[in-house]
A and B are shown apart, each in its own frame.
Chain A
Amino acid sequence: MERFRRNKGPLLLPVLCLAAALLIYLVVNSLWGAASVARQLSLGQQYLTDMNYNAAILAFNNAIRTDPVSKEAHIGLAKAYAGTGEYQFAGQMLEDLNQGPVPDEEISDTLIDIYTDAGEWERVIRLIRELIDSTDRDEYYDLLQQVLAAYFDQPHSYGVGTDQRLVLKNGQVLSAGSNSLGQLGVALAAAPEQPEAQPLADAGFNGTAARVWCAGRTSLALDEAGNLWAAGENRWGQMGLAYADGTTRTGWTCLTDTGDVAAAAGTTGHLLVLRTDGSLWQSGSETGGQLEPVSRFATVIQLESSGETVWLLSADGGLYTSNAGDPYTWTRVAEDVLRFGLGPDGGAVWLASDGGIGSNRYSVEQPEDWTALESGRMQPDFAVRQLAQSESGLLLTDAAGTLYLAAGGQCAPVSTASPVETLYRQGEGVVLELRTGEVQYWADGDTAPAPLA
């Protein structure tokens, strides 16, 4: 015993060394595993802050390999990809995780940020709408209002009605065509034989107009205060004045005084008004001549008409159409639509949420660089912002405002004086509103656009 006490140190040294080594081994192993995810997440966040997105991608990827259900890792990874400009990929990743019956708020907020940076406003609106439905929070209503106000602020300088057309030039409304029912805004005149050949003249609109449209033989103009004015036919009560005119009226009549009109469209006897809060209103024979809300659609983000057909896009991606024969009945044509454009003969083309192009009437020979999707649609090799169909082919723009024409198996950029702000179909052609304010018109059958006469 004495010997043991004397040699205690040397005897214990190897034992303690071994025990310490084993302890170190066990602790490092356990902490390493547990800290691995946390460390990768922390690294990833740091890289995001430093805008070192490639490193962030690697770090979050590693975190997901270790913990495949980590929300923080998935969100971080999406932010990292968004930081490299891969908005679509980042959005797709998070959308796949947000498919439950109730959207995840954190994921939805991240998606809103990503899509806002990408300028994908339709997706932003849809997400905000979903959050409103699931949370009813005032902040989302306010956000929706802000986004819609900015989203609807797009020019619309050309409108074609049944036998009249309206042009907006530097705030002045010009009109041409038949004035049989006062649709030109000025004193009555007999209907000319060739209304389409009539020259443009002042439509007698007082003040400065911001946008113009036509709905049948009713001409419409939006003033700078956001109120809607109309001239021409009101025989179905479509002006929303609570009565239908048997007698032809002349001049312009103010239809709204709430200052919140975003767009208007319609067909003979039926007017549709889209307000800046996304609500859709209509008037005609079945509303007793009163402007009434179309309660079926909670939020509408796009409204267009051509001839006797109207199309609208609701915030949930539903694309609907109605026609003059039964204007109060809406037919759902497609789902998951981000944006649409009209084509000849009342059809439409649309951009689906998978990036593919769809249509109910037109087909395009697939250009070489486009991808055929499982859905049967074709996906261009660039992010499409707007589109419209002409007889020359499918016209598209990208985020930079470059115009493309897809026809005959080719998709090539078309030179314009400046980037295209918006394009839409009216009459027998497509209107191109450039960012400089110039308006061009690509008539069906023409090989190139020309300044709008």
Chain B
Amino acid sequence: MTGWIMAIGFLVLGVAGLAAGVLLRKKLSRVWMASFCVAGVLLAVLGGALGVGQWNQTREERTWSYLALCYLEQGQTEQAAQYLLKTDRQDLETTAAQLLLERLRGNDTIARLRADTLNNLARTDSEKNLCSMVSGVAAGDYEAVRTAAALLREQSALTGAARTQADRRFAAETGVWLGDPEDPTAYDQELPEAERLRQQVDQALNNGSNRWAVESAAQLVQLAPSADNRLLLASAVAESVYSGDYLDASCFAADGQEPDESATAEREKLAGQIEKLESQQAQLDLALEGASDEAESERLADEKAQLFARQEELQAESDNLYARRALSSIADIHSLEAEIVRARLQYAMRDYERAVDQLLSAAGSLQCRLSPSSSLTNGLNAVRRAYEGGSDAVGVESDQFRDTMVALLSSGSDSVALASGSLTQSFADRIVSDQKVYGKDLYASGIDLSEFPQVTLLLSGRAEAMQQLVDGQGQVKDTRAEVDWQAEMLDAEGVTNQLCCVVDCSGSMGGEPMANLQEALIRFAQSDLNGAYTSLVTFEDTGRVASELSADPTRLQAAARELVANGGTNISAGLEQALAVLGRADGARTVLLMTDGQSSLDMGVVQQLAAQGIVVHTIGFGQVDDNLLQTIADATGGQYIRADSSSELENVYASLVGLIGNRVQLRYTAADTDTAEGRYVYVTTGEGSASVRVEYSLQDEGSDGRGLRELDPDFVTTDDMATRLAEDGSLTITLWLEPVLGAEHLTGVQLGGQDVNFIARENDAYTVDLTLPAAPAAGGHTLTLTWDDGLVQEYPDALLVGARLNTGSFRLGRLRLSATALLTGDGRLALRDPWLTEEVAEGQESAFSLSVQGNLTLPVDEAAILAADAAGGTMDLGQSGVLTGYGMLNLNSGDKAYTWNAPALTGGTPQNFQVEATAEYVRFLTGAEEGGETDGTVPQE
């Protein structure tokens, strides 16, 4: 609209000036009259030129919308999107086309926005009907989209001639004629040579025939060396170079002319140098075979790697020859479109950073501010906002942003053929990928509470975040209370990092994923790793060391170039090799594990890595087991990074460069020492740029479930013991362990303070035979199990030995017990597997019926017990007391409330508990301190 206003304004001013000059000729001098007329004419001409420009632009934009509808009718969304992005128009037709595009893509949110805009634009009834029809198209309904697009195309505001031209253009791009079917000659009309060549270029690019595109574009430049045509040629060259198509001088030779052989000569020279390097490497291979010792082998291998690196450089120079020449050929064009094409050429030469810098530089230029092309300036501004906007830039992963990038990157040409090319797509993907955040800037790899309230937190992350903490810039809170803290770098300066890249070379990595991986590894090796030693391990069905630890990064690069995808996925094999490589190394050691598939895992290898302090960062994409990779990272203090595709690998590895070897130890003293649960520590750096929250608990986690399950016999009379010893010559007790950790991890067993021999049963690691050196004395005997990791477990009264009582019925307060009983000789009565009920009045039902699967003991007066036992009948143990038990407390069928299948009152595993009985109540106290897991130290009294 502004353009039209200015055009009309200038026209009016011009006419006014002309009229002033003519009408005031009598009052003005001749010179002034002429001046007014000339000024008027100039302004009118300017206004007219602007008006014509605006008219052309309007027609052009209508053509873009029309072409977009043509592509939508064919179900081709990419091209339709590109044509729609070329136009700034927000009329009904364009907005309707945008809505259909998003419906076809299934982007409901954006489609909704377009539909609302469309409804706001409709004024007349017919427009509202049309909008209603278009808005009613369902997501993904191709037929409805096609019908709607055809209808909109019919109602397009393009004139007949412009429509025919657009139809012909569409036909040239796709081979499909959507024009008047009764006028096929319209399609075959003779085109001007330049137009024919331009269409040929578009067709070639559309078909992926990049070499043909270059040839056609070269002819076009020969015919009309305008800036646009030269840029088109450079774009075609970029596409060819990126795709690896072979170009030579004949592509650029005009008809009837000899090709310029300077490029050929340069290429031949490079080829000669490459050949020489290959020959030298072959000689080194022979020398390697006959190498006398390891040192010489290493020297020769290093030399070969350097030669190979140089060869690669020369090969790249050769491959990029025409791209460099294309850059030179457009050096004199200073338009924004030229900047875009230069960025494309940089990208084609794999100089990605420079390509992005080119775009950012263009975005910040004065040209960008003054450019009349809003789509171009908007695109460049969007790039700049994405890279420099920080948290103010959102939606960088949206289709809208990506479409804008594709439109920007293909703006060097009038057609959309460039938009669908692999270079444009890859460049757009890279820009989107650059905005993604891979890996956390700050994360916790461990917390030490052994000296609580002093807490030690091990943090890892980006060097900047670590340095901020060391410099005291940040905040630490423990369970909502801010605390004073100190941080220091864990790895001393000068400590060398040892890195092992473990990569998946299974069959699924074939093709593009492997190419992306190789590229990522090569760039990783080329980045600043602070002198780290690097190595490469591959795995498919087995693991293999592709490159040993070396300070020379070219060795990793060389090994990466030789990677081949084949076989299955065996992550454990890869990690085992990494352990072998890094196990011998000193310094801070890190593994970067990458996989695109699923695999079983031997956690033992991971535990070994963790035990050796080797950090494993994991990278996954594709059909990976996210939980598995997260588990490996968590177990070793690393991070798991998930990528959407292999194209992001380079950015992922690049982000990891900033994380390796940065560790900080942070200490503080917690103020609140009472709260056991719900505790956490929160750390933030600087102005809150990075933060981490770690939850922890002060409660003892307890054992891992290992230990005593049952001892048999555990309840014997001294007489029985003597008899067995006399008969068998030895005393054997069977120990059943919980099926958590087997007997192979036991280093010692004691019973009653004496070491006993123990042998696990064959084929049963959880059943152990204990051979007692002598008959145990009367009393309760503690079973002590010592494990190979240092844990010591004690089970008091695991074995009860005493004199058998005749009585089997007892009463304590209102508790009634039925059990086999022993007098242990240490002042206690022991009851085996007692049955418990209430002593209630006749006619009243007992509230419960319980049984203990285990033993109960009660301190007693032994003399009184013996006397009561001799008297017979139910033994009265007093009005109240507390029985101590170990085992499980179960409800019996016949209980007041339960007849079957009731869960055990003490949980599913044996534990310590107490039974308190009085005349008024019976209570069970569970959760008493469990049978003593100690470090073996006997407390001094």
Contact = CB atoms under 8 A, between A and B. Distances in A.
Nearest to A60: B113
A68 B896 CA distance: 71
A72 to B, nearest CB: 8
Contacts of A77: 113
Given A57-B116, A181-B847, A279-B678, A69 B393 contact: yes
Contact of A295 (B697, B897, B928): B697
A17 B396 contact: no
A236 interface: yes
Nearest to B28: A10
B258 interface: no
A237 B904 CA distance: 12
Interface residues of B, number: 90
Interface in A20-56: 21-22, 24-26, 28-30, 32-34, 36, 54
Contacts of B162: none
A154 interface: no
A243 B43 contact: no
B678 A295 contact: yes
Contacts of A25: 6, 50
6 contacts: A13-B38, A71-B393, A74-B395, A97-B398, A285-B904, A289-B926
B293 interface: no
Interface string A116-146: 0000000000000000011110100100000
B437 A100 contact: yes
B39 A293 contact: no
A362 B103 CA distance: 33
B855 to A, nearest CB: 18
Contact of A68 (B395, B477, B682): B395
Contact of B2 (A32, A68, A72): A32
A106 B404 CA distance: 25
Contact of A29 (B372, B896, B927): B372
Contacts of B485: none
A17 B916 CA distance: 109
Nearest to A62: B90
Contact of A135 (B371, B377, B688): B688
Nearest to B403: A68
Contact of B903 (A107, A248, A325): A325
Contact of A247 (B117, B372, B393, B920): B920
Chain B CB within 10 Å, residue with most, of A54, A71, A102, A246: A246
Interface string A76-102: 010000000000010011001101111
Describe B's contact surface by its main secondary structure: mixed
Contacts of B391: 71, 104, 106
Chain B CB within 10 Å, residue with most, of A13, A61, A69, A298: A69
Closest 8 CB pairs of A and B: A288-B927, A246-B922, A10-B35, A14-B39, A69-B393, A244-B924, A293-B677, A136-B682
Contacts of B908: 326
Interface in A238-286: 242-248, 268-269, 279, 285-286
Interface residues of A, number: 86
B671 to A, nearest CB: 15
A415 B31 CA distance: 93
Chain B CB within 10 Å, residue with most, of A29, A96, A100, A279: A29
A423 B35 CA distance: 88
A9 B35 contact: yes
B109 interface: yes
Interface in B640-693: 677-678, 682, 684, 688, 691, 693
A246 B850 contact: yes
A18 B43 contact: yes
Given A69-B382, A134-B691, A243-B924, A61 B903 contact: no
A418 interface: no
A216 to B, nearest CB: 9
A217 interface: yes
Nearest to A86: B112
A317 to B, nearest CB: 17
A12 B524 CA distance: 63
A340 B155 CA distance: 51
B32 A9 contact: yes
A30 B370 contact: yes
A246 B921 contact: yes
Nearest to B924: A244
A233 interface: yes
A436 interface: no
A298 B922 CA distance: 36
Contacts of A71: 391-394
B556 interface: no
